[in-house]
A and B are shown apart, each in its own frame.
Chain A
Amino acid sequence: MLQETAFTNVEAEKKTVTGADLLIEALKKEKVEVIFGYPGGAVLPIYDKIYDCGILHVLPRHEQGGIHAAEGYARISGNAGVVIATSGPGATNVVTGLADAMMDSLPLVVFTGQVATGVIGTDAFQEADILGITTPITKHNCQVRNIEDIPRIIKEAFHIATTGRPGPVLIDFPKDIAAGLVEQPAEAEIDLPGYQPTIEPNYLQIRKLTEAVSGAKKPVILAGAGILFSKGSELLLEYAEQQNIPVVHTLLGLGGFPADHPLFMGLGGMHGCYTANMALSECDLLVNIGARFDDRLTGNLKHFAPKATVAHIDIDPAEIGKNVPTAIPVVGDAKVALSMLVKQNGKPPENSEWIQTLNEWKKENPYWYEDSNSPLKPQRVTEMLYEKTNGEGIVVTDVGQHQMWAAQYYPFKNPDRFVTSGGLGTMGFGLPAAIGAQIADPSATVVAILGDAGFQMSTQELAVIRELNLPIKIAIFNNRSLGMVRQWQQIFYEERYSHSLIPSQPSFVKLADAYGIKAYEITSESEAEKVLAEVMNDNEPVLLDFRVAENENVYPMIAPGKGLHEMVGVKK
């Protein structure tokens, strides 16, 4: 009898926990501030623990909205965005977001529920092979097979998502694993012998690059999102000034270098500015820092930087030489590479003529549009949004013409202020991404610039904005069409507007009203002035339905198959 009591006491001292407990504990260890999640059968054991876990949980109205919100959060905060979805349809609803995050290198840790281990493979209710589906669109994915492994797997997932070239990691969580009991496992250690990103570049390559810069006559830096991920903006500025090298940005790099700086030559690529594209075409040394030579940036590779020696700094060695032959490969973190380059303090290039040419191009070929009070011009609206936010707002866009106008007419002064879907070009991204961005930076003015079509791909997330009272300024550039598609059909398909015009639309004002969000329809510039003055500093969400000119096109433009120097619409 005595013996038996002693035995029970020892048992009681050993703490038993469920898989779901271990998950929450691991999230807390990673200092997760917010979970974007949607419950369902397979994740009920997890949701029971979320109920009183103390971490903010945001319920999107569609899992795709949840994962885009996590992307916006990740882009602004630099932390991994955390998503939970149930098995089957919940899991397949996050697929687009995973592909988007994979393309744009956004750190996410996504948990999907899975049917119980005993029935995996039997086509059980709400079973989907999410590992198979997401293998090509995740940096890594795995399924939890032993409850004891949970702390290690989650620790590794955050490590993989946020280090090296960031990306999405998916962990598939069978229901019995979440519900099952184990003894509290020991502290987890990361065990990833196959994963060691190179942070510090090879010194000899840095020397080689320094010499190439000193000898160049027409050098240019192409800076991509790698600058932002590495937090290397200040060093980029220091290096560019030290060496007097002009800087061109990719779409996703915008903000990495101050747009009002004399050395900034603008956005390159399909809808980039004349100076940036000509700088890329005419340079004799192209220093790519953290960009991946995406086709929307390079145009036809045959004509890309034909006279240049190419140097490429990238943390992902597979990006170097993938699209453009590279003479000086530098594998490593952009910020570390820049600090080494600055320390070299090489002789600056003799490039005064080059700088002079670029400045002349800049003066002669700014972005242009024909202004009018009514119809309201989308470019003008973007400029007004810039003015009203002193150029310091967070701008989140959807995909289409409005996205390009935002990139052109909102010259970012600071890093990490632009959230946009670049590589995948995902419509429906903007509204939920704005939610994540606002949660990441509650004091910022977040402006969501959306097309009327893209807005309708995630309208339901207005409910979240209301629920959390996020003071997002939703600016819909309403051209009653799939504007970018309409533009291509006008130019390349003889104005045969096949399914790109939207003659019947709901009233966005009434829609917003139904969600309890204040809204205005705005048809002229003077009206826009008045409303913006009224609402921009409100601590309230607002929806602005800008009725913009319906036939406006984005210029300049490079037609598919053309080189960067073959821009059309550079001048009126």
Chain B
Amino acid sequence: MKRIITLTVLNRPGVLNRITNLFSKRNYNIESISVGETEQEGVSRITCVVNVDNDRIIEQITKQLNKQIDVLKVADISDQAVVARELALIKVQSTPQNRNEIYSLIEPFRASVIDVGKDSLIIQITGESEKIEAFIELIKPYGIKELARTGTTAFPRSSQRSTQKTNYSIV
């Protein structure tokens, strides 16, 4: 099962190395990791998406991460109502003939075209991983030349429904 773990860490040299190292040392399967600064100077936020077999492993992961000296806080937010977003850039083959067709796919996904070339388009899309996944599937037949994804970054929502187990945010 997929779990989302968020960490706040002191932005000191080596901290990212310590965290990725821990994943490989303990043989945990990491799907994506995204890192960036926060509103607080010197503090970064890391969002990891991991694939685990059971709850015991996720408990171990969070405990081991918590042990790192430069880690301030670890939370497994998978069971909370979250806003999770990922960004993807997709360079897709396109001819003047099928351009409109592609635009018609882009619209319902609220993706946008950020560069137009002679025989290709670059599309930017944000959203939950599943949405991006679905969009990629749709666009694949046109011929994807290049693809870059950021990995998920996520927040718990401001108000939590008490009984909610799995949550999908509105696009």
- Interface set of A (CB-CB < 8 Å, partner B): 131-132, 135-136, 139-143, 145, 160, 192-195, 316-318, 321-322, 325
Contact = CB atoms under 8 A, between A and B. Distances in A.
Nearest to A142: B14
30 contacts: A131-B14, A131-B17, A135-B14, A135-B17, A135-B18, A135-B21, A136-B21, A136-B22, A141-B14, A142-B13, A142-B14, A143-B13, A145-B13, A160-B69, A194-B9, A194-B68, A194-B69, A194-B70, A194-B71, A195-B69, A316-B67, A317-B63, A317-B66, A318-B60, A318-B64, A318-B66, A318-B67, A321-B56, A321-B59, A322-B60
A133 to B, nearest CB: 11
B72 A194 contact: yes
A135 B70 CA distance: 13
Contacts of A322: 60
A228 to B, nearest CB: 21
B92 interface: no
A152 to B, nearest CB: 12
A321 to B, nearest CB: 6
B88 interface: no
B21 A192 contact: no
How many B residues are at the interface, by size bracket? 20 to 34
Interface in B43-90: 56, 59-60, 63-64, 66-72
A160 B10 CA distance: 16
B69 A318 contact: no
A483 B72 CA distance: 47
Nearest to A145: B13
A143 B67 CA distance: 19
Interface string B1-22: 0000000011011100110011
B118 interface: no
Contacts of A143: 13-14
A192 B69 contact: yes
Most chain B CB within a 10 A radius of its CB, from A131, A143, A192, A194:
A194
Contacts of B18: 135
A143 B17 CA distance: 13
A191 to B, nearest CB: 9
A132 B68 CA distance: 15
Given A136-B21, A316-B67, A322-B60, A194 B14 contact: no
Contacts of A131: 14, 17
B10 A193 contact: yes
Contacts of B161: none
A567 to B, nearest CB: 29
Contacts of A193: 10, 72
A292 to B, nearest CB: 13
B165 interface: no
B95 to A, nearest CB: 47
A135 B60 CA distance: 19
B17 A132 contact: yes
Contacts of B69: 139-140, 160, 192, 194-195
Contacts of B67: 316, 318
- Per CB-CB distance, the 10 closest pairs between chain A and chain B, nearest first, are A318-B63, A140-B69, A194-B72, A136-B25, A135-B21, A195-B69, A194-B71, A318-B64, A136-B21, A317-B63
B17 to A, nearest CB: 6
A139 B21 CA distance: 13
A517 B43 CA distance: 57
Interface in B114-130: none
A145 B71 CA distance: 20
B147 to A, nearest CB: 30
Contacts of B64: 318
Most chain B CB within a 10 A radius of its CB, from A135, A141, A142, A322:
A135
Contacts of A317: 63, 66
Given A135-B17, A192-B69, A142 B12 contact: yes
A324 to B, nearest CB: 11
Contacts of A141: 14
Nearest to A143: B13
Nearest to B61: A318
Contacts of B21: 135-136
B149 to A, nearest CB: 27
A167 to B, nearest CB: 10
Contacts of B68: 194
A140 B25 CA distance: 15
A226 to B, nearest CB: 16
Given A141-B14, A193-B10, A193-B72, 8 more contacts: A131-B17, A136-B25, A139-B69, A140-B69, A194-B69, A318-B60, A318-B67, A321-B59
A322 B56 CA distance: 8
A195 B10 CA distance: 11
Nearest to A167: B67
B19 to A, nearest CB: 10
A189 to B, nearest CB: 15
B119 to A, nearest CB: 41
B27 to A, nearest CB: 12
A322 B66 CA distance: 14
B5 to A, nearest CB: 14
Nearest to B59: A321
A318 B25 CA distance: 15
Contacts of B71: 194
B146 to A, nearest CB: 30
B7 to A, nearest CB: 10
Most chain B CB within a 10 A radius of its CB, from A132, A139, A317:
A317
Nearest to A325: B56
A193 B42 CA distance: 12
Contacts of A316: 67
Contacts of A142: 12-14
B11 to A, nearest CB: 12
A136 B18 CA distance: 7
Nearest to A139: B69
B63 to A, nearest CB: 4
A322 B18 CA distance: 20
